[in-house]
């Protein structure tokens, strides 16, 4: 699903909201998640999962084509851990993958 697909699905399920407003909401949510991760904070979305950033140390890697040793710089990587509800829905335990009604 792309960002545009997400906005289109939200617009279809919420006809009382304008598409432009939904686009602003989606951008704001993703912007806040991105900003928190850039600050090194953990972002947890209950029932969905948690995003964290993890540091990776510099190391010596290997070029798979030539076998030559190459330096790999230290970096920060994004990690995601799925929540229990998402895992349950993905594995179809206890029902459909449709969200529970509020």
Let me know: does 37 contact 54? Beta carbons within 8 Å.
Answer: no
- What's the pLDDT score for residue 92? 78
- Residue 68 predicted with pLDDT over 60: yes
Domain ranges of the chain: 1-41, 43-96
User: Which band of pLDDT confidence, cut at 50, 70 and 90, is reported for residue 98?
Assistant: low
- Per-residue DSSP letter, 52: E
Class of the CATH domain delimited by 43-96: few secondary structures
Let me know: does 33 contact 51? Beta carbons within 8 Å.
Answer: yes
- Residue 101 predicted with pLDDT over 70: no
- What's the pLDDT score for residue 14? 92
Q: What is the pLDDT of residues 2-53, one digit of tens each?
A: 999 999 999 999 999 998 999 999 999 999 999 999 999 999 999 899 999 9
* CA distances to 19, 22, 81 from 15, in Å: 9, 11, 33
- What's the pLDDT score for residue 57? 97
Give Cβ neighbours of residue 90 (< 8 Å, ≥ 6 apart): 82, 97
70 vs 100, more confident: 70
Predicted TM-score (pTM) of this structure: 0.72
């Amino acid at each position: 699903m792309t960002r545009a697909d997400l906005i289109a699905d939200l617009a279809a399920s919420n006809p009382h909201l304008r598409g432009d407003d939904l686009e602003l909401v989606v951008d704001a949510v993703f912007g806040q998640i991105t900003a928190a991760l850039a600050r090194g904070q953990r972002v947890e979305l209950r029932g969905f999962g948690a995003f964290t950033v993890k540091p990776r140390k510099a190391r010596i890697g290997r070029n798979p084509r030539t076998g030559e040793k190459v330096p790999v710089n230290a970096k920060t990587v994004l990690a995601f851990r799925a929540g229990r509800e998402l895992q349950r829905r993905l594995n179809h335990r206890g029902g459909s993958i449709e969200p529970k009604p509020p």
